[in-house]
Structure 1
Amino acid sequence: MRLLFILLIIFLYNLCSFAEIKLIKFDYQKIIGVQVFNLSKEYYKNLDYYFKTLKSKGVNAVFIRVFQNKGDRYHYGIKSICESGVYFKTDQACTVYDILPEFIEYGKKYNIKIFAWMGTRKLTFFIDKYGVSETFKLNKVSKRVGYGADVFRKEVYNDLKNLFLDLAKYEIDGVLLQDDFILRIDESSSVFTLNNFNTDYDVYLDGELNVNEIPDLFFSWKTEALSDLLNDIKWDMKKINPKLKFAVNIYYETLIDKKKGERWYGQSIENYNKKGFSYFANMLYSEQVKKEMNFNNKEYLSFLDNTLKKWTNLLDNAHRFIAKIQIRRFDNKQPIDKKFFNNVCNLVKKYDVSYILVPFENLDDLEYICN
C-alpha cells in the first residue's frame, strides 16, 4: 500500500512538472533590424556614432555578416590575406578580422541585439576543401554541378559544427543562417546521404536516377534530416551560450507551397518550428519576387498581404515572422521607389511582424524604417 502511495506521489509530481513546462510562454521581441552586407570604412573606429544613429531610428537588432567568400567585399574595406574566411576567431577557417567584440560592445551600450549572419554549405573554404555535393540527373543524360558542400558527409558536418561552436563563444544574441543551408532538388545523391535514407526507410535509391524518378518520401526525408543537423548544432551552441536565438532564412516559395519548399530547397517552416527555432527570416524581396513571378507592384502587394495573413495566423507569435524587405536592388544597389516601399511598410505594420531592411549599405538607408 505504501509503495502504491509513493508511486502515486511520483506520478502527480511528474504531471505537475509537465504542466508547468507546457505553461511557459516564450517572449519573442519584435525585431526592427538591418542586415549589414558590407560595413563602410567610414565607420571603422566610429561605431559609437553608427549604433547611436541606429538606436535613434528605432533599430533594435543588427544582423552582421561574419563570413567572407571569394569575391565578397571586405568589411571596412580592410586588406586581408584571407580570400575567404570569417570575422571571428576560430581554428576552422582564416580569420579576416575579429569584428564581433566591437559590435557586441556597442550593441550592449545601446541595447541593440547582435545577430551573427553566418554562411554554411556555400562557404568557399569548405568547397575548396571538400568539393560540392553529388547530384541526381536533371534530365535523362546529364547532371548539374552541386550547389554546396555535402553536410551529410561526416567530415563536412563536423567542421561546420566546430565553426559554429567557436561562434557561440561570443556574447552574441543570435545567429542568422545564410540562405545556403538548403538542398536543391537534384542534390544529395551521394553515398553518405543515400545510406542514411536507406537506413531510415529501408528504401534503396540509385544515385544515377533522374529527379523525376525520386519518390516524394525522399524529399520529405531530406528536409527533415537537414533540419535535424541544424538542430543538433543549435543545441550544442546553446550549451555554450544559452540565450542564443536562431533565425533561419526562408525562401518565398517555401511560404506559398510546402511541396515546393521541400523539393526545391529541403526546407520547411513546420520542421523548424517543431524543433524550436526562434525566428523565420522570410526573403520577401520585392524586386526578385516581381521579376520571378511576373508581378507588377499591385500584384506584389497582394501577394505580400496574403502571405503575411497566412503565416501570422499559423504562428503562435507574429513577431517570429521576420519580413526581409528590400530597400535597394541587389545588382546595382539603386534604392527602391519610396512610394511603393511605403505600401510595403503599411502591410508590415498591419500584421505587426518583425522586419529587416535588406541590403543595408549605410546610415542613409534608415530613411526606409517603417515609421
Structure 2
Amino acid sequence: MHYRTFFYAILTCLTTTIISPATASPIHGKVAQISYVEMKSSADLETLFRNLHREGYGTVILRIFHNRHDRYLTTTADTGNLPDAGVYFPTEYAPVIQDLTTPAVEQARRYDMQLFAWLGTRRADWLPPQNKLKDPVTDRLSLYAPGSIPYLQQLFSDLARTGVNGILIQDDLVYRTHDELPAGVNVQNYRGYTPEYRQIANKRALIINQTLEAILDSVHQVNPHCKVWFNIYYENGTNPDHALMWLAQDLELLAKLPIDRFSIMSYHRQIAQELNLSPMEAVFQTARIIKNIAATVGYQRIIPKIQTEDFVTGESVPLTEVQALERLLPPSVPVAYMPVRRTP
C-alpha cells in the first residue's frame, strides 16, 4: 500500500456532504508557488523554469502583482526608477512594472509546464487612497463602490489574455470585521456576534461571491480554458462561522461557483504559532482542517499548501514535517509547496 494511502486511511474514513458544481482540471507534476526569485536578466527566467522542470515541478504559481515594500520580481538589477506598486503583465488598469507574464508563459510552454498567475484584488496599492474605487480608511477597493467590480473584471481579463493556464486569486478578497463598518454597529455582545453584524457579514460574503462570479465570467470570455483558483483561509476548516464573521468567507456559498480549485492556506507552522501548538501537533491539525474543507467542496476541488519556510524566522521547514503532512493527505490530492525559492 502506498504510504500516503496508508496514513490517510488511519486519519479518516468519514462520509461527507459535498457541494460541487465543477470538476477540477488535472494538475501536471508538483506545484511550486513562487513569491520572489532574484533575477538579473531574461536568461534567468529561462533558467528558473528549466531548473523547476528538472526538479519535477509541472505547475508554477508566479506572483505577478507588486504592492508597496514587496521585492521586485523583474529580470533587471536596476529597480531604482520602477513604480512602487503595479503588475507584471500588459494592462491599462495598473502601472506595469515589467511584462514578466508573457515570457513566463513562453517558458512554461517550452518545458511543458502549466503557469498560474497570482494576482491580488482589494489591496491594489497601485491605486491611491483618494481613488473613487477605494475606501479611504482602509486604503482598499470597496466592492460597494460603483465601478470596483468592473475594474477587477478588466484587470483580470487582461491577465487572462496573456495565455496563462490559470489564475490564483490572492487572499485579499475578504472583508475583515471593521472594514467599512457602518458607524454605531455593535459587532459583539455578551452572547457573541450581534444579529445586526451577522447581517452585515452575510451581505459582505454575498458581494464577495458576486465579485468572484464577475471575475470568472470575464476571464472565461477571453480565455475559456483558463482555470481559476481561489485562496481561502484555514479558519474555514476550524470554525466556518468565524471565517464568515471575521473574513466574510462563506465556503458553502463559494462552493457553488465554478472555481476550479480552492487553494487552502494550510500553513502548519503559522497554524502552530496562532493556535499555540507544537509543529507536529499542527501537522495533524492541518490535516484535519484540509479534511473539513474537503467535506464541503470535495477533495477534487482543493489544493492544500504545504509551508516550506517559517514565515517568522525565515528558516526552512524540516523535511520531516513536510513529509508527515504529505502522508496524512489522500494520495490523489495535489499540494502546492509555498514558498519555493530558486535563484537561477
TM-score of Structure 1 vs Structure 2, range by shorter chain: 0.7 to 0.9
Quick one: which of 164, 172, 176 aligns to 1:172? 164
Following superposition, the deviation at residue 33 of structure 1 comes to: 1.1
- Report what 1:254 is aligned to: 236
- Look up the SS of the partner of 1:181 in the other structure: coil
* Alignment correspondent of 2:301: 320
Q: If you compute each CA radius of gyration, which structure gives the higher value, 1 or 2?
A: 1
Q: CA deviation at 1:351?
A: 4.6
Give the C-alpha shift of residue 53 in structure 1.
Answer: 2.4
Shift of 1:290: 0.4
- AA matched with 2:112: N
Judged with a 3 Å threshold, the aligned counterparts in structure 2 of structure 1 residues 111 and 82 are, in CA distance, closer, same or farther, namely same
Change (3 A) 1:146 1:314: same
Matched, 1:82 2:74: no
Query: Structure 1's 218 and 154: CA in aligned 2 closer, same or farther, altered over 3 A?
Result: same
Equivalences for residues 30-41 of structure 1 within 5 A: 30=27, 32-41=30-39
In 2, the alpha carbon distance for the partners of 1:269 and 1:50 equals: 35
The gaps in structure 1 that reach 5 residues or longer are: 1-23, 135-144, 190-205, 365-371
Aligned residues: CA RMSD: 2.3
With over 3 angstroms needed to count, the CA separation of the structure-2 counterparts of 1:244 and 1:264, relative to structure 1, is: same
More helix by share: 1
Distance in structure 1 (CA, Å) of the matches to 2:60 and 2:241: 32
User: Do the aligned residues in 1 keep the contact of 2:119 with 2:168 (CA within 8 Å)?
Assistant: yes
Q: Which residue of 2 aligns with 1:341?
A: 322
Partner of 2:262: 280
Identity %: 23
Question: Within 5 Å, which residues of 2 pair with 1:1-371?
Answer: 26-30=23-27, 32-41=30-39, 44-76=42-74, 77-79=77-79, 80-130=81-131, 133=135, 145-146=137-138, 148-189=140-181, 207-212=183-188, 213=194, 214-316=196-298, 318-348=299-329, 350-362=330-342
Separation of aligned partners in 2, 1:90 and 1:274: 30
State the distance in 2 between where 1:108 and 1:163 align.
23
Give the secondary structure class of the aligned counterpart of 2:89: coil
1:320 and 1:354 in contact (8 A); partners too: no
- CA distance 1:211–1:239, shift in 2 (3 Å): same
Gapped regions of structure 2 (runs ≥ 5): 1-20, 189-193
Amino acid of the structure 2 residue aligned with 1:165? S
Q: Are the aligned partners of 2:24 and 2:261 in contact in 1 as well (CA < 8 Å)?
A: no
Q: Distance in 1 between matches of 2:41 and 2:290?
A: 35
The answer to whether the 8 A contact 1:147-1:184 is kept is no
Distance 1:163 1:300, change over 3 A: same
Q: How many residues are matched? A: 313
Cα distance change, pair 63–78 in 1 and its aligned pair in 2 (3 A):
farther
Matched residue type, 2:108: G
1:124 aligned counterpart, secondary structure: coil
Alignment partner of 2:337: what SS?
strand
TM value normalised by structure 1:
0.78
Greater relative contact order, per chain length (Cα 8 Å cut-off, separation 6+) = 2
Residue 146 (structure 1) shift: 2.7
